[in-house]
Copies of this chain bind each other. A is one copy, B any other.
Amino acid sequence: MSDPVLDHLLGDHDGILDRLIEYARIPSVSTDAAYADGMAAARKLLAGRLEAAGFNNVKQIAKGGHPAVYGEWLGLSGAPTYLVYGHYDVQPPDPLDKWHSPPFDPQIREGRLYGRGVSDDKGPASIALEVLFAYLSVEGRLPVNIKLLLEGEEEVGSATLPAILEHNAKLLQADAVISADGARWRADLPSVNVGSRGNMAFELALRTASKDLHSGRFGGAVPNAAHVLAGLVADLHSPDGRVSVDGFYDGVGDPDETIGIDIASLPFDEEAFFAAIGSAPFGEKGFSTLERLWLRPTLEINGMWSGYTGEGGKTVTPAEAFAKITTRLVPGQDPAHVAQALQRHFGHACPAGASIEFAPRDDGNAAYLVPPDLPLLLAVEDAIEDALGARPVRVRVGSTLPLSDMIKRALGIDTVTLSFSTADEDFHSPNEFFRLSAIEEGMTAWTSLLRRLGRVTE
Contacts and interface: CB of A to CB of B under 8 A. Distances in A.
A230 to B, nearest CB: 3
A300 B308 CA distance: 12
Contacts of A397: 216-217
Interface string A175-210: 000000000000000000000010101000000111
Contact of A399 (B217, B231, B316, B319): B217
Contact of A293 (B211, B220, B326): B220
20 contacts: A199-B216, A209-B278, A209-B279, A215-B300, A218-B398, A219-B398, A220-B283, A220-B292, A222-B280, A226-B233, A226-B302, A227-B233, A231-B233, A302-B316, A303-B305, A303-B308, A304-B309, A309-B322, A313-B326, A315-B326
Contacts of A226: 233, 300-304, 323
A211 B276 CA distance: 10
A328 interface: yes
B222 A313 contact: no
A234 B237 CA distance: 13
A301 B224 contact: yes
A274 B309 CA distance: 26
A306 interface: yes
Contacts of A40: none
A38 interface: no
Contacts of A52: none
A371 to B, nearest CB: 22
Contacts of A199: 216, 315
A328 to B, nearest CB: 6
A304 B230 contact: yes
A309 B227 CA distance: 18
Contacts of A208: 279, 282
Copies in the complex: 2
Contacts of A323: 226
A1 interface: no
A338 to B, nearest CB: 15
A280 B352 contact: yes
A354 B297 CA distance: 22
A399 B317 CA distance: 12
A324 B220 CA distance: 16
A264 interface: no
Interface string A223-250: 1101101111111110000000000000
A30 to B, nearest CB: 16
A34 interface: no
Interface in A265-298: 274, 277-284, 289-290, 292-293, 296-298
A54 interface: no
Interface in A316-350: 316-319, 322-324, 326, 328
Nearest to A313: B201
A363 to B, nearest CB: 14
Contacts of A231: 230, 233-234
A307 interface: yes
Nearest to A288: B221
